[in-house]
Structure 1
Amino acid sequence: MHMSDQREIAAPVAEVWTALLSAESLLHCVPGAKEVTGNAEDGFEATVVQKVGPVKATFKGKVELSNLVEGESLTLTGEGKGGAAGFAKGGADVTLAPSETGTLLSYEVDAKVGGKLAQLGSRLIDGFAKKMADQFFTNLQTSLEGPAEDGEEAGEDAAEAAPKKSLLKRMTGG
């Protein structure tokens, strides 16, 4: 399964880059993550609980980062084993570029599943994989920008009227 998309994130490239390399940030961004430990150099260990159709499983896996070009691009590669449910593995090529409002994040994802999960059918699996990728990048965007306020209009005025504390600032106490 292959998919690609992009997101406009109202945060500087350096802040988005730092969030992608942080275990704490990944814990908040990966849907169903119960634990994420490790670092960008050695890789991350993760425990994720997900329900795909009728199959609910706890996946334990590892995520490695490669092809790091600071502030520009990286590749995330991961594999998780869910016991009797099967396995999921895949990767994402992520690129960052400065934009008028902050950072344009683009990604291409390839994912594969096996075991019981593979028996659910490609349409269900493809929809689930797209939902997971969308949720991850939505969570990343929210963690960097802060939650949207009800009735708040997008733009500089709204950002100035209701300053938001980004994940990076919360992490560093800034």
Structure 2
Amino acid sequence: MTEHKTETDSSGLVYVIGTEEEAMGWIGRESDPVEEAYPIETRAIEHFVEGIEDPNPLYWSDEFGKQTRWGGRIAPWGVIVLCKEHQVWRPEWMGTHEGQITFHCRTPLPGNRLLATDYEIECYKPFYPGDKMFINEKLINIAPKAFSIGKGHHITVENYFRNQRGELCYKDSRTVFRYRQAD
């Protein structure tokens, strides 16, 4: 296994630095599923929809949800932002949450900055309060690109969000431009 140099940006993201040729060999890699630190909770759902001011009663009312095809209150798809995007701090005595560093950062490439360029999500079934979320990702494509901010690579990664029964609830595709910030 090759030892790689890493670089950290001002937000704390760590990038594995390598060559385009090496990175191309990573296409098709899929990570193991990682269980998110906390199950989906009613309060987290309400807090999320408060922030976006979404009055949909499916997110607010168990009684309303029971009268729908979903059979109960559900989480909006945006709840994945509360899970995948953030590291979870824990007291040292609890150990660290396994988490997952995205292929956008851990694929060995010259770039040390990210710029989101495309995002798509497919929703198959909802998450419910109490559900556990398991996430894994697959590196789909790497393509050299040049923009006014510099030369780099478009990296496309698919994320798969499953519940504790292994059912695929959401799939998203994220393309970012990974480039080297000028010194």
- TM-score norm. by structure 2 comes to 0.29
Higher strand share: 1
Q: Which protein has the larger Cα radius of gyration, Structure 1 or Structure 2?
A: 2
Higher helix share: 1
